[in-house]
């Protein structure tokens, strides 16, 4: 079976995401204390992006984090299958946006970005984008590692 997960194809994309995450990692920690993005909301966003990108490492880690933040097993399974039906109403638009953002390889339609900003305000929209960029780095790095293992094992090692 050929390898089909999303990976970094352009080294510039990887370094751009890495530099962004390094520069903004402190902001993510600061967000945890503000209540702007609750741990459960953050995990919903991360699981939505991970479902699109298909990273098995991040699926495992963030499913555990989601359980700790109060999400139920059923909701986690739904999010990992791309179903957002059990998301709280006030978070649903952001989770749908997260899926769209991941599906468009971090290049969402300008109208959807505007709708996100109108719905949540600039500060919260920026916080959502921060969460999305950081999980993207994790997803595509994990998948790139898997691709490397797939190549050196002649297709025997694939998650």
- The stretch 17-37 carries a mean pLDDT of 79
- pLDDT at residue 34 tops 50: yes
- Tell me the average pLDDT of the chain: 89
By three-state DSSP, how is residue 154 classified?
coil
Lowest average pLDDT, out of 25-29, 56-60, 123-127, 131-135, goes to 25-29
Whole-model pTM? 0.87
- With contact defined as beta carbons under 8 Å apart, do 104 and 73 qualify? no
Q: What is the mean pLDDT of residues 84-98?
A: 96
Extended beta strands in 5-158, E state: none
pLDDT by residue (tens digit) across 48-76? Answer: 999 999 999 999 999 999 999 999 999 99
Query: Contact at 8 Å (CB) between 6 and 143?
Result: yes
Would you say the C-alpha torsion 121, 131, 159, 86 has a positive or negative sign?
negative
All structural domains of the chain, each given as residue ranges with its CATH number in brackets, are 11-152 (1.20.1290.10)
Residue 159's pLDDT band (cuts 50, 70, 90): low
C-alpha distances in angstroms, 98 versus 32, 53, 78, 82, 118? 19, 11, 15, 11, 16
pLDDT at 22: 77
């Amino acid at each position: 079976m050929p390898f089909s997960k999303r990976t970094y194809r352009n080294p510039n994309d990887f370094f751009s995401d890495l530099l962004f995450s390094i520069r903004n990692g402190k902001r993510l920690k600061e967000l945890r204390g503000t209540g702007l993005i609750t741990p459960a909301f953050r995990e919903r966003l991360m699981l939505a992006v991970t479902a699109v990108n298909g990273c098995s490492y991040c699926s495992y880690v963030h499913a555990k984090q989601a359980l700790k933040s109060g999400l139920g097993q059923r909701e986690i399974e739904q999010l990992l299958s791309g179903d957002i039906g059990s998301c709280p109403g006030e978070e649903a638009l952001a989770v749908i946006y997260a899926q769209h953002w991941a599906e468009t390889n971090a290049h969402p339609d300008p109208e959807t970005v505007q709708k996100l900003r109108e719905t949540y305000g600039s500060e919260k929209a920026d916080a959502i984008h921060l969460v999305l960029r950081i999980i993207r780095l994790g997803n595509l790095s994990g998948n790139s590692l898997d691709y490397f293992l797939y190549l050196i094992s002649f297709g025997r090692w694939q998650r």
